Structure 1
């Protein structure tokens, strides 16, 4: 079988694996409730106090803030989906069916990252319509919507890639979730509060700081830029993927 055909076949299997378990549907439903719910909160607050609305803002700007909640949901879903068959021992029959580990790694990474990213972006876009329903005068300009979708697609895609990488590298749902929370939330917030220059430097180079800057426009240091934040997110995602690839290709899959 050619590599392209094997990749396509494995990709279909990975898609089926994601949506054949209850946890994926639970994640999707809970994430939808959270993102759309916060969209309603943001919209109702804006409608109740129009003076707080920044001139030139659109409903897309309000929904953009729900991207952080989408990010954590997508990150957790990517970890759980990636580690599911390691937790159950299903990785052994998976590799018997797809013995070429590079094919499995590529298919799992692409399918999980694409699926979770599209889910997150779709929910945030839906959240924008919820915001707009409360404050229709803000509008939903197409160009602004496409720009926001592109920005969030990069943020959520990088987060999902980090989740897949951590999940496959640790082969433990709990360990990967702890690392993900530390890198995306606890580490940046904690280190930024300490009165040392080096802790600010470390916080700035954590993926959570990059995500916060791209969503809210603020970070641990004033010299952060959009480019540096994007590079930080991408570098962490790729590093996690390299680590997961090494472990899958070089070690026994059931250890």
Structure 2
């Protein structure tokens, strides 16, 4: 059997494993209601107080705040789905079905990352649409939307791979979630506020700073660019995936 055939079969199995359980759908529905709901609240505020909307602002600008919720929600989903069968012991039959661990790593990473990225993009887009439907004076330009969603694809995709890598490395949902939140939120803010010159440089190299820069256009250093933020996120995602893949490939599944 060719590698491509085995990979396709493993991808179908991963898709079924993730979306055949109720918890995945519950998390997605809750995340969608929250993200789109926050967008709707922003639209209500803009409709009631049109003077509070800065000149030239669009619905995409208003939905930027919801992108952070989408990021943490999709990372949580990525962590949960990547560690679920380790927590239940189902990893043993998973590896019996797909004994080529490299194929399993590729299929799991691709299916989870693509799924949660599409989900996050859909919800943030929904929040933007909600804003412009409620506050009709707030425009929804397609060009800006494509640029904003392009950056968000990088943020969500890399965030998902970071969560998957941490999940495979720790084999613990709780531990991986704590590490992901620390890297994406706590450490960038904490380190940036230390009274040392090197602290802002270290903070700018953390994945959370790259995500914040691509979403809001601001970071701990004035010399941060879109390219440097993307490179930071890609490097962390690749490193986490390599670490998680190393443990999957090299250590016993039961330990």
Q: TM-score, normalised by structure 2?
A: 0.97
In structure 1, distance between residues paired with 2:248 and 2:233: 23
Deviation at 1:139, TM superposition (A): 2.3
2:249 maps to what in 1? 249
Matched ranges for 1:11-160 at <5 A? 11-160=11-160
Deviation at 1:64, TM superposition (A): 2.3
In structure 2, distance between residues paired with 1:139 and 1:207: 31
In structure 1, distance between residues paired with 2:130 and 2:38: 9
Q: Which runs of 5+ in 1 are unaligned?
A: none
Deviation at 1:129, TM superposition (A): 0.9
| SS of aligned partner of 1:150 | helix
Q: Does 1:227 align with 2:227?
A: yes
Q: Deviations over 1:84-121 (max 9, x none)?
A: 00011111110011000010000000000000000000
1:217 maps to what in 2? 217
1:177 maps to what in 2? 177
Q: Does 1:165 align with 2:165?
A: yes
Deviation at 1:250, TM superposition (A): 1.1
Deviation at 1:23, TM superposition (A): 1.5
Deviation at 1:209, TM superposition (A): 0.7
Deviation at 1:28, TM superposition (A): 0.2
In structure 2, distance between residues paired with 1:28 and 1:51: 35
In structure 2, distance between residues paired with 1:208 and 1:23: 27
| SS of aligned partner of 1:138 | coil
| SS of aligned partner of 1:136 | coil
Q: Deviations over 1:176-226 (max 9, x none)?
A: 011001000110111112211222222111100111111111111212111
Q: Which runs of 5+ in 2 are unaligned?
A: none
Deviation >3 Å, runs of 4+: none
In structure 2, distance between residues paired with 1:242 and 1:6: 21
Deviation at 1:70, TM superposition (A): 0.1
Over aligned residues, Cα RMSD in angstroms?
1.1
In structure 1, distance between residues paired with 2:250 and 2:127: 43
Greater CA drift, 217-226 or 239-248 = 217-226
Do 2:83 and 2:168's aligned partners in 1 also have CA atoms closer than 8 Å?
Answer: yes
1:204 maps to what in 2? 204
| SS of aligned partner of 2:63 | helix
Deviation at 1:246, TM superposition (A): 0.9
Deviation at 1:231, TM superposition (A): 0.7
